[in-house]
Amino acid sequence: MNKLWKKLTGSQLVIPLFSLLLIIIFNLFRDIEFFSISIVTNNQGYPVLSGNLISILNGASAIAILSIGMTLITSCCKGQDISVAAMAAIAGSVFVRVLRSSGAITIPVVLVAYLYSCLVAVLFSLFNGILVAVFRIQPMIATLILFSAGRSIAYWINGGATPTISDPILASIGGFIPGIPIPTPIIIMIIFLVLISLVLRFTTLGLYTQVVGINEGTAHLNGINPVLVKLLAFIISGVCVATAG
């Protein structure tokens, strides 16, 4: 029992889980209806889940995807990439630009637009990664460049406008897939969390990331390339950024 208690209290999840528990207890006393989830009919006539918890998970899904890449960068670089939101705007602008130039919007076109946005986001993320890993600039300082210029670049990509596209396929990606009551962003978030969990469990990425973050010199002496590990973290972050964008 003592070993289990020490293991639980020694986990890095103790503080966030305890904070979440306090929030749950507060809302239980304040308004128990806060946790109610119901099934309603949306504008397209499909039954979907509705409630405060669903809205919170739906709104936080993009942030959760961004946090996957941010966690890897923080672990191996001992600093934060503060430009992820600006790069998400760039990736989203590329996505829209490709769709607008393609004419008819179909699933293959959407996939191509997503791949283009991933490529652009990875390139911008690699720019940050080179500054951090090769030139050894502190991450928050290195990413300040795109933090300041990213939204302007996103605005320039679409010709100084903020265009919108109305299409059933895009509505399904950002809202609900017909016949599935769970918001699509939540499903995408779960898929990403499962994928990164499998990668960290069945590869050495998690171990290498922590070793480089703790002591680069020791990692290098043990045959680990710190520069490569850091750049890989920024590449994964770029994919997360594109998905969130």
Residue 120: pLDDT band (50, 70, 90) is very high
Residue 165: pLDDT band (50, 70, 90) is confident
**Residue 8 in this model has a pLDDT that exceeds 70:** no
- Closest to 174 (Cα-Cα) out of 188, 195, 155: 188
The SS3 of residue 51 is strand
Give per-residue pLDDT as tens, 9-39. 667 777 888 888 898 888 888 888 878 888 8
Beta-ladder partners of 39 = 49
Give the whole-angstrom CA distance, residue 206 versus residue 76.
10
Q: What is the pTM of this model?
A: 0.89
- Residue 71 is part of which domain span? 62-244
Asked whether the beta carbons of 154 and 162 are under 8 A apart, the reply is no
Name the average pLDDT for the chain. Answer: 88
Residue 166: predicted pLDDT? 79
Please count the structural domains in the chain: 1
Give per-residue pLDDT as tens, 95-119. 999 988 887 788 899 999 999 999 9
In a domain, 222, yes or no: yes
In a domain, 115, yes or no: yes
Percent of the residues in the chain that have a pLDDT greater than 90, as a whole number: 44
Phi-psi region of 143 (alpha: psi -120 to 50; beta: other; left: phi over 0): alpha
In a domain, 32, yes or no: no
CB atoms within 10 A of CB 58: 19
161 or 232, which is more confident = 232
In a domain, 234, yes or no: yes
In a domain, 132, yes or no: yes
In a domain, 1, yes or no: no
In a domain, 15, yes or no: no
Asked whether the beta carbons of 98 and 234 are under 8 A apart, the reply is no
Please classify residue 120 by burial: count the beta carbons closer than 10 Å to its beta carbon, then call 0-12 exposed, 13-18 middle and 19+ buried: buried
In a domain, 128, yes or no: yes
